[in-house]
């Protein structure tokens, strides 16, 4: 387990992410933090596509906090797209880290 900001995040394989249930609520409540998350995701997508750099993505499903380490292949206004079409809703991501 990895602890950041006093939260415990459990590692999950990206292949298991489609089995998770994601609520509609945003995990962030501050607009500045949401903007920072968006810029981090854009940067991670660019670096993932250009240099195949892997990032840790810290997020929450309906029951717990999780993280995975992977290359981000694409980004829409609502979803982060990983390898093999795996997706994580943007509003469920706390942040990404190199």
Strands 65-70 and 7-11: parallel
pLDDT digits (tens, 9 = 90+) for 52-68: 899 999 999 999 999 99
Tokens (6 digits) for 15 = 């292949």
Q: What is the dihedral of CA 52, 18, 34, 68, to 10 degrees?
A: -50
Phi, psi at residue 67, to the nearest 5°?
A: -145, 155
pTM of the model as a whole: 0.91
Q: What CATH number has the domain spanning 2-97? A: 2.30.30
Where exactly are the structural domains of the chain?
Answer: 2-97
Integer Cα distance of 32 and 64 in angstroms: 24
76 contacts 37 by C-beta, under 8 angstroms = no
Residues 9-30: tens digit of each pLDDT: 999 999 999 999 999 999 999 9
């Amino acid at each position: 387990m990895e602890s950041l900001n006093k939260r415990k995040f459990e590692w999950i394989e990206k292949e298991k992410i489609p089995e998770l249930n994601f609520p509609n609520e945003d995990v962030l409540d501050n607009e500045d933090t949401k903007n920072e998350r968006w810029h981090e995701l854009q940067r991670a997508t660019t670096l993932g596509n250009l240099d195949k750099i892997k990032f840790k993505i810290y997020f929450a499903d309906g029951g717990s906090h999780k993280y995975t380490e992977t290359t981000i292949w694409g980004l829409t206004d609502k979803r982060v797209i990983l390898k093999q079409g795996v997706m994580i809703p943007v509003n469920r991501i706390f942040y990404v880290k190199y």
